[in-house]
């Protein structure tokens, strides 16, 4: 009898975004970024190192009548980022003329390996 173990490394992070009531009518997208080393620039925090960024198209019509918007975004973290690195997520809204709100930061989390072994005999 032969046994084999398959392992998989996952470097995808899911960011859940919840918008407050009073979603702007000209909302076009939500921009989500993953990075490290937040720094204070001109009184505003920003990411010192950027690993991944995406925009998800959402509009005012995507919010239910309550005006509360929820979205989930998956981003890949490059393999060059070492395990143990403190990762931060930011989200901001973007309107149709590319005006952007201030970044809203998540609390940091450490990048940790997620490995699963499966016996496929």
In this structure, are residues 39 and 105 in contact, taking their beta carbons and an 8 Å threshold?
no
Q: In terms of residue numbers, what domain contains 42?
A: 14-114
Asked, for residue 119, whether it belongs to a domain, the answer is: no
> Is pTM, for the whole model, over 0.75?
no
- Say which CATH number the domain at 84 has: 2.60.40.10
Q: Is the pLDDT of residue 94 over 60?
A: yes
- Give the contacts of 12 (CB within 8 A, at least 6 positions apart): 74, 75, 76, 77
Number of domains in the chain: 1
Asked, for residue 69, whether it belongs to a domain, the answer is: yes
pLDDT category at 66 given cuts 50, 70, 90 is: low
Asked, for residue 2, whether it belongs to a domain, the answer is: no
Q: What pLDDT, on the 0 to 100 scale, is given for residue 58? A: 80
pLDDT (tens digit per residue) in 20-31: 656 677 888 888
Asked, for residue 57, whether it belongs to a domain, the answer is: yes
Asked, for residue 106, whether it belongs to a domain, the answer is: yes
What 3-state DSSP class applies to 29?
A: strand
Asked, for residue 94, whether it belongs to a domain, the answer is: yes
User: What is the bridge-based pairing of β-strands 27-41 and 86-95?
Assistant: antiparallel
Asked, for residue 120, whether it belongs to a domain, the answer is: no
For residue 103, give Cα distances in angstroms to 55, 76, 79. 13, 20, 25
């Amino acid at each position: 009898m032969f046994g084999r173990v398959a392992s998989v490394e996952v470097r995808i992070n899911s960011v859940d975004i919840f918008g407050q009531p009073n979603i702007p009518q000209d909302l076009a997208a939500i921009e989500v970024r993953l990075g490290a080393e937040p720094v204070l620039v001109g009184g505003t925090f920003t990411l010192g190192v950027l690993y991944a960024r995406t925009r998800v198209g959402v509009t005012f019509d995507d919010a239910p009548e309550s005006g509360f918007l929820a979205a989930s975004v998956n981003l890949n973290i490059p393999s060059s980022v070492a395990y143990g690195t403190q990762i931060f997520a930011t989200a901001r809204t973007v309107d149709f003329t590319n005006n952007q709100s201030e970044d809203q930061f998540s609390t940091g989390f450490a990048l940790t390996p997620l490995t699963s072994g499966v016996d496929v005999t």
